[in-house]
Amino acid sequence: MVLAAKQTLSAKIGFSNPLSRQNPSTSLLQRSSLSVSFPSTAIPIKRAVLAVSKPLHLSPMRAKSPARCEAYEADKSEPQPMDDDAAETKSEAAKKLKIGIYFATWWALNVVFNIYNKKVLNAYPYPWLTSTLSLAAGSLMMLISWAVGIVETPKTDFDFWKTLFPVAVAHTIGHVAATVSMSKVAVSFTHIIKSGEPAFSVLVSRFLLGETFPSSVYLSLIPIIGGCALSALTELNFNMIGFMGAMISNLAFVFRNIFSKKGMKGKSVSGMNYYACLSMLSLLILTPFAIAVEGPQMWIDGWQKALSDVGPQFVWWVAAQSVFYHLYNQVSYMSLDQISPLTFSVGNTMKRISVIVSSIIIFRTPVQPVNALGAAIAILGTFLYSQAKL
C-alpha cells in the first residue's frame, strides 16, 4: 500500500516522519493503516475489516486554554504596576542621600575652618579683619569661577539685590559676632552657646512669622537652654564679650536663614551663586566698619608680630581659614536649597558636636565634668528637638 511504500522508502534513505517521532501512538496507528479493525456490537465473533487506500493523518489536539503571547512596541508597552510608588521611593531615598552628603561635607569643612580660625585668632587677635579676609577670599574664588566658566554666572536684577540686602546685613553681623566670640573664649564654649540656635529659631518663627509648633517642640527647648546655661556658668575661661558674641551670632544667623529661604523662593539663582552674591554684598558692608573699628595700622603691627612669633606658616593659616570658611558656607547654602530653616538650624547644631570634640582634642581645652554635662544636655535637647520636628 501507499503508506507501506512510503515507510520502506523513508527507511532506505534515512528519513523519518517527524510526526512519528513526536507521538509513538500515531506511528503504531500508521503501521496498521492497511487494516484497521473495529469491534462490532452486532456480531462479537466476526471482525469488520476496513480497507484504507490512503494514509491516515492525525491532527494535533488543541489545548482547551491556549496561552497568548503578545509583543508590544517600546512606545506601546503597558505600564507596570507600582512603578510610580517605586519611583517615588527611589527619588525620596536619593534626596535623603544627597542631603546627607551635603551635611557631612558641611560639617567636615566647618571643623577644618574652626581649627585654622582659632589658630589665626590666637596669633592675630583682630576678628574684624579676619572676618573681612574670609569674605574677600570667597568673593575672589567665585569671581574667578564665573570668569573661567566653572560656575554659570547668575542672572540677577535690582530686585534680587534688594531682597538680598537684609540677608547680607544679618550674615555680616552673625559672622563678625562669632569671630569676636572665638577670639575671646575657647572654640568649644562658643559652639556650646551657639547650639542654642534652635531656641532662637523657634522664638523668631513663632512671634515674628506667626508659625505654630507642637508642645513637644517647646518642651525640647528646655534642655537646650538649660544645657547652654550650665556650660556658661561652669566655663573656666568665661568672658562676657565671648558669650554675648555667640548669642548675637545665634540671633543674626536665624534671621539670615529665614531671609535666605524667602529670598531663594522663585529665584533662578542656585544656592552656590546665592551665597557668592551674599559674600560680595557682605564684604561691601563689612569693610568700612572693619577699618573704623581696628584700622590698617593695627593690622600691620599685628601682622608683623604674628609672623615673628609663628613664622611663614601663619600666612597659610590665614589663607586656609579664609578658603574653608567660604567652602563650608557654600555647601550649607546648597543644603538650604533642599530643607527648611528649622531643619537647617538643627543640622547646624548637630555639626557643633564634631567641632566641640575636635577643638577640645586639638587645643587641649580643659573641661570640667559639669561643663561637659551641660554640653551633653544641650546636645540631647537638640536631638529631642529634631525628633519633635519630624
- 37 DSSP β-pair partners: 49
Whether residue 87 is contained in a domain is answered as no
Rounded to 10 deg, the angle between the 313-336 and 83-123 helix axes is 150
Question: Which residues are CB-contacts of 207 (< 8 A; sequence separation ≥ 6)?
Answer: none
Rounded distance between C-alpha atoms, residue 141 and residue 166, angstroms: 23
Per-residue pLDDT at 19 exceeds 60: no
Whether residue 96 is contained in a domain is answered as no
**pLDDT tens digit string along 354-377?**
888 888 888 888 888 898 899 889
Whether residue 95 is contained in a domain is answered as no
pLDDT, averaged across the chain:
79
Whether residue 371 is contained in a domain is answered as yes
| Bigger pLDDT: 41 vs 226 | 226
Per-residue pLDDT at 219 exceeds 60: yes
What's the half-sphere exposure (Cβ side, CA atoms, 13 Å) at 312?
Answer: 0
* Per-residue model confidence (pLDDT) at position 267: 64
* Per-residue model confidence (pLDDT) at position 37: 45
Count CB atoms within 10 A of the CB of residue 60. 9
**pLDDT tens digit string along 237-273?**
889 999 999 999 999 988 987 887 776 665 678 778 8
Q: What is the mean predicted confidence (pLDDT) over 65-93? A: 58
**pLDDT tens digit string along 29-75?**
344 444 444 444 444 444 444 444 445 444 455 444 455 555 444 44
C-alpha cell at 19: 510526526
Count CB atoms within 10 A of the CB of residue 349. 25
* Per-residue model confidence (pLDDT) at position 9: 42
**How far is residue 10 CA from its own chain's centroid?**
76
Whether residue 39 is contained in a domain is answered as no
Evaluated on CA atoms 14, 18, 21, 26, the torsion sign reads negative
Whether residue 8 is contained in a domain is answered as no
Whether residue 261 is contained in a domain is answered as yes
Rounded distance between C-alpha atoms, residue 316 and residue 129, angstroms: 16
Look at the chain and report how many structural domains it folds into: 1
* Per-residue model confidence (pLDDT) at position 312: 92
Q: Pick from 355, 334, 351, 386: which is nearest to 99 by CA?
A: 334
Which domain does 343 fall in, by range? Answer: 108-389
Count CB atoms within 10 A of the CB of residue 123. 18
Rounded distance between C-alpha atoms, residue 236 and residue 214, angstroms: 37
* Per-residue model confidence (pLDDT) at position 357: 86
Whether residue 74 is contained in a domain is answered as no
**pLDDT tens digit string along 281-300?**
999 999 999 999 999 999 99
* Per-residue model confidence (pLDDT) at position 74: 46
